[in-house]
Amino acid sequence: MTPRVDVVVLTMNDRPKEEAFAQKTLQAQTGVEVRVCVVGNGCTPQVVPPGAITVALPENAGIPGGRNAGVDALREAGDPAEYVFFLDNDACLPRPDVLVRLVASAEEHPDAAYVQPRLTGPDDTTTPRRWVPRLRTGDPERPGIITSMTEGVVLIRRHVFDEAGGWEGSFFLYHEGLDLAYRFWSAGYTGWYAASIRMHHPLTAPIRHPLFHRLSARNRIWVAYRNFPTPLIPLYLGTWTVITLARALRMGGLRETLSGLREGWATRHEQVHRPMDWSTMRRLTAAGRPPII
């Protein structure tokens, strides 16, 4: 039977050329039945493939909130697919078998809640360290179990996504993938990095976004409070505060980073604290991601 994949694409109508190309490569996928939902985050989508579902949000709900709206619309349309694929509107699928190979990889690894392709620049080779979803980033071609997530190009089992409650909308931007990955692990699943399956994305840096420094620092605190046992929270945050401040001193954004740290600490109790159990901590450590790093 032909596998089915529901695809969510988020837009603010800010890159029509890239969106049109991304959707063209999506429509070219073979061996899989694809249904697309284009979500306008505070706008009405202007670039929409034939037959796609559209959602026009009245205001910018943030990336996780917008993606959740797309999943909801696909569910309400009836007969949801087994898998949901989240696609950045400036990413593209360079071969027509990307989705079917991702599904095959998911079938080969039934314990994986999500499957991550290798993301490269348009040259099909360059993979920045931040795009390798594990700590040991020296060889981006090495597949394996992963504990983090590159949110904009990821295939997720729908029933696991629904059971986890979807993306955490309050994050707005940054680290929502790490939070969701931790919730998958807490539910007994893993993630899989299918390094032989490539996708392309412009070689941009997150610091180009004005909110990066503040929201990244704030959301890191929220991730810890939401997911870790209380004794580990200060250890984790101590490690990441040092790392975050060092990066801010090197790359700029120190004032915004400090603002984000203050905001995250002051609002941490607004997040639901559902700590992983210690067996999940051991599994993460065995997978190469000790929960204090």
Q: Looking at the structure, do residues 49 and 160 belong to the same domain, yes or no?
A: yes
Q: Which CATH number is 84's domain given?
A: 3.90.550.10
- Which pLDDT value is given to residue 208? 57
Q: Looking at the structure, do residues 246 and 226 belong to the same domain, yes or no?
A: yes
- Which pLDDT value is given to residue 193? 96
Q: Looking at the structure, do residues 73 and 30 belong to the same domain, yes or no?
A: yes
Please indicate, yes or no, if residue 293 is contained in any of the structural domains: no
> Residue 58: pLDDT above 90?
yes
Q: Looking at the structure, do residues 55 and 26 belong to the same domain, yes or no?
A: yes
- The whole domain housing 41 covers 4-204
Q: Looking at the structure, do residues 26 and 152 belong to the same domain, yes or no?
A: yes
Q: Looking at the structure, do residues 22 and 145 belong to the same domain, yes or no?
A: yes
Listed residues 178, 204, 230: the one ending a domain: 204
Reported confidence tier of residue 293, pLDDT bands at 50, 70, 90: low
- Which pLDDT value is given to residue 243? 86
Per DSSP, 135 falls in state S
Q: Looking at the structure, do residues 213 and 195 belong to the same domain, yes or no?
A: no
Question: Which tens digit of pLDDT belongs to each residue from 198-235?
Answer: 999 998 766 556 688 899 999 999 999 999 999 999 99
Q: Looking at the structure, do residues 78 and 25 belong to the same domain, yes or no?
A: yes
Which positions ≥6 away from 173 have C-beta within 8 Å? Answer: 62, 63, 64, 209, 211, 215
Q: Looking at the structure, do residues 257 and 152 belong to the same domain, yes or no?
A: no
Where is pLDDT greater, at 291 or 109? 109
Please indicate, yes or no, if residue 178 is contained in any of the structural domains: yes
Are 114 and 181 contacting, i.e. CB atoms less than 8 angstroms apart? Answer: yes
| Cα distances (Å, whole numbers) of residue 148 to 72, 122, 153, 190, 258 | 24, 23, 13, 10, 24
Q: Looking at the structure, do residues 10 and 54 belong to the same domain, yes or no?
A: yes
Q: Looking at the structure, do residues 263 and 168 belong to the same domain, yes or no?
A: no
Q: What pTM value is reported for the model? A: 0.94
Where is pLDDT greater, at 97 or 129? 97
Listed residues 177, 204, 231: the one ending a domain: 204
Domain count of the fold of the chain: 2
Q: Looking at the structure, do residues 144 and 58 belong to the same domain, yes or no?
A: yes
